[in-house]
Every structure is written in structure tokens, then in C-alpha cells.
Amino acid sequence: MAKKPNSWVRDKLFLGMEFQDYFRSLFTPANFIAVAILCFAIPAMIYRLFYGLGPSTNLSDTYPWGLWIGFDILVGIALAAPGLALGTAVHLFGMKEYRHFVRPAILSSLLGYIFAVFALLFDLGRYYRIPYLLGWSWGFSSILFLIGWHFFLYINICLIEWSPALFEWLNLRKAREFFSKLAIWATIFGVIIAGGHQSALGGLYLVTPGKLHPLWYSLLLPVFFLLSAVFAGISMVIVESTISHRVFKRQLEHFDHAKFDGLTIGLGKATASGLFIYFILKMFDLAHSNTWGYLNTPYGYWFLVETLGFVLFPALLFTSGARNQNTKLVRFAGLLTVLGVILNRLNVSVIAYNWNLPASLRYYPKWTEVALTIGVITMLVLAYRFIVNRMAIMYDHPAYESEH
């Protein structure tokens, strides 16, 4: 065997270890859990592909969309907004102090979108026809058409934004330079494209006035979805950076804790203002559509749990955390905000959808649906870790440091 490719594989893929050592290093508790999850998820995927949606899901003619759309797409895409939020702040508003948050944010957006689309393929009846959408049959009057095209464009944009890290890893200096210059343009179009489809995901439900509960149905749905995607994106940066600073400690030698905490609080302030605007808009919407009466019903209580417990409460926590320089509180509020956005998306797509049906006719996911969803999340985390361990995501690449 030739010596050269062998060492390339060793350096680039096996983290500088021999294959045997690398293989042994994979036996960790985290990997064990991941494999255990995939043992359920992959059979669920195969079951879906061979037997169809009927046997493998609880979807029905009354519930055409379930967990796979509600969680994998609506939640997944909202939580994949860090690239949008941070890319805009740093590249457009020139907030260079957040520079180090950008690469992890873009990577999580890229992987978030790729895996959301991957999960979507299982939900589509004829997944193999997906290219039809791009080049064969165009439904211009459909909001879903807009979303489909925007997903396609945005994945490409994220690829361009992320590619400098790839080319640093591959040591292709020229390609890196070229794509670094493209990256700023990609960011600009990313803002337009991401803003368009984040709001369009809410727009999907504009056509369901009779089916979605009046407390959630609103002509402002696109605005709510866009705004919540922005603060979900920033909150995800808070949560993700907290986690990844623990997991990837080894990579952060010159890490300045005080500065990091300060920046986290800055992100908290931004989220708080987003949350307050969102809350006020929600109240205006209640008043405008005059749906106060529904508040004193079970659905109303649930609505209050969402808007008070997961919007107003974290907003107040952020405010208090920022005032008292309490980073822990900001991180906790970030987590609450993320959970709140998950709750909101599931409410719109599943819980408050078909609200006037009797309880026994309601949809709840089958185990295969849950297994596939958790499996796709696991794959995302594994891919994220694989890339961060190999490329300059968390730190500046030593050979290119001066060019940032």
C-alpha cells in the first residue's frame, strides 16, 4: 500500500491515530447510546420504505401531517436558524466580537437543514420525485413551493459559508480564498432566503382557518414564525456554545471565560428584545381577532402555558440575567426559549390542529415516528461532532489565522 494516502487518511480522518487506536477510541458511553438509538431508528426507516406510511405511522386522512413535519421540519428548521442570526449580526451589522460564534452557528444550520430534508424524504409519499419540484412541475401559487426552493437554495448557501473550513482542512488555499470572498455574498442572500422561508413555514397554516385553533391561527403566523426563529436561533447559540465548550474543551486552549460570559449575556439581551416584541405582538393579535373568550378553556390554559411560561418568563429571566451579569440565568433562559419554540411548533402542527375533533380521534405519533425523529437528531449530532473534531470550527486555523 502506498504510504502517502495512508497517512492522509490517518491525519484527516482518524485524528492522527492508527486505525486500531482510532477504532478503540470509539468505544465511549456516548457512542454506545447513539448506536442503541440507531438500532431503533434504522429499522423504523426500513419499515417505512418497505411498507409505506400507513403501517409505519399513525397518520390518517384527518391528520396528513404528524410528528415528522411538526418536529423534523417546523422545529428543526427554527432551531437551525443560528446561521441566519449570527451571520447577519457579524457580517452585516459588523459585530465582529461575535466572530467566533459564526462558524459553529453556520455548521449547525447546514447540518440542521440537511437532516431536516433527509427526515422529510421519509414523510413524502414519492420521495424519489423530489427533483420534480426543482425542474419539472412548478406550483407558483403554493407556499410549499416557496419553501422547497428556499430549502434547496439555503443549503447551498450554507455550504458556501461553511466551505472555507472544509478547504482549510483539505489545505486548498486558493479554493479557500475564493469561497471566503463568496461567503459574504452567500450571507446576504442567506438573510433574504432564510427570512423568506422561516416565515413561510408559518404561512403554510394560513390556509387552515377552520382547522387550527383560533388562539394559534392568525394572519400574523408568518411574522410569528420568523420572529421566533430569530430568537430561537440566538438561544440555540447560547445553548449550543454552552454544551460544546464542555465537550470540545480540548480544542479551546486560549479560551477567555470572562469574555465568553460577556458575549453570552449580549446574546441574551438580543433574545430578550425579540421575546418581548413577540409577546406584545401576540397580545395585539389576541385583541385584534378578539379571541379572549377561548382563554378560559383547556386550550386557552395551554396557550397561556406557552406564551407566559415559555415567552414572557424567559424574557424576564434574560432581563434579570443581563442586569445582574448572571450568565447561568441567561443560559437557563436560553434553554427555556428553545423549549418554548419547540412547544409552539408542535402546538401549531399537531396539538392545536384539528382541535374540534373528539379526543379519541386525535393523532399521537407511533413508536416508529418517534424512533426515526430521535434517530435523525442522533445522526445530526454525530455528524456535527465528526466535523468539529476535524475542522477549524471552534478555533481559528493556525495556518490562516491572520486572514480572519
Nearest CA to 227 out of 340, 374, 358 is that of: 340
User: Which residues make beta-bridge pairs with 353?
Assistant: 212
Between the alpha carbon of residue 191 and those of residues 194, 197, 278, 336, 348, the distances in Å are 5, 10, 20, 25, 25
Kindly report the number of other CB atoms within 10 A of residue 229's CB atom: 28
Query: Binding other proteins by CB under 8 A: which of 92, 283, 287, 308?
Result: 92
The only residue of 188, 339, 370, 377 in contact with other proteins, by rule CB under 8 A: 188
Stretch binding other proteins (CB under 8 A), from 21-29, 159-167, 192-200, 371-379: 192-200
Of 222 and 340, which has the nearer Cβ to other proteins? 222
| Span near other proteins by CB under 8 A; candidates 3-11, 47-55, 228-236, 332-340 | 47-55
Spatial CB neighbours of 372, under 8 Å, sequence gap ≥ 6: 41, 44, 45, 48, 68, 119, 122
Binding other proteins (rule: CB under 8 A), the pick from 9, 36, 287, 361 is: 361
CB atoms within 10 A of CB 184: 12
Contacts to other proteins from residues 373-402, by CB under 8 A: 394-396, 401-402
Looking up cell 387552515 gives 208
Kind plus residue range of the DSSP H or E element containing 366: none
Phi, psi of 212 (to 5 degrees): -90, 140
Query: Segment near other proteins (CB under 8 A), from 163-171, 207-215, 274-282, 321-329?
Result: 207-215
Contacts 24+ apart (CB under 8 A), 207-211: 207/143, 208/353, 211/353, 211/354, 211/355
Q: Nearest distance from residue 122's CB to other proteins, in Å?
A: 11
Q: Where are the alpha helices (DSSP H) in 248-297?
A: 257-289
C-beta closer to other proteins: residue 24 or 129: 129
**Residue 225: exposure state from Cβ atoms within 10 A (0-12, 13-18, ≥19):** buried
Q: Which of residues 321-350 bind other proteins (CB under 8 A)?
A: none
From 11-19, 48-56, 280-288, 309-317, give the range in contact with other proteins by CB under 8 A. Answer: 48-56
Span from 87-95, 165-173, 273-281, 298-306 in contact with other proteins (CB under 8 A): 87-95
The least distance separating other proteins from the CB of residue 193, rounded to whole angstroms, comes to 8
In terms of CB distance, is 276 or 400 closer to other proteins?
400
Binding residue for other proteins, selected from 41, 44, 146, 267, defined by CB under 8 A:
146
| Residue 13 binds other proteins (CB under 8 A) | no
Q: How many whole angstroms separate alpha carbon 71 and alpha carbon 46? A: 20
Give, as ranges, the residues between 95 and 114 that touch other proteins (CB under 8 A): 98-105
Minimum distance of other proteins from residue 141's CB (angstroms): 4
d(CA 10, CA 21): 11
Binding to other proteins, residues 245-264 (CB under 8 A):
251-256, 259-260, 263
Q: Which stretch binds other proteins (CB under 8 A): 8-16, 46-54, 109-117, 284-292?
A: 46-54
In a 13 Å sphere around the CA of 79, the CA atoms on its Cβ side amount to 30
Q: Which of 13, 36, 52, 295 binds other proteins (CB under 8 A)?
A: 52
Min dist. Cβ of residue 313 to other proteins (A) = 27
Please tell me the count of residues contacting other proteins according to CB under 8 A: 89
User: Per rule CB under 8 A, is residue 203 in the interface with other proteins?
Assistant: yes
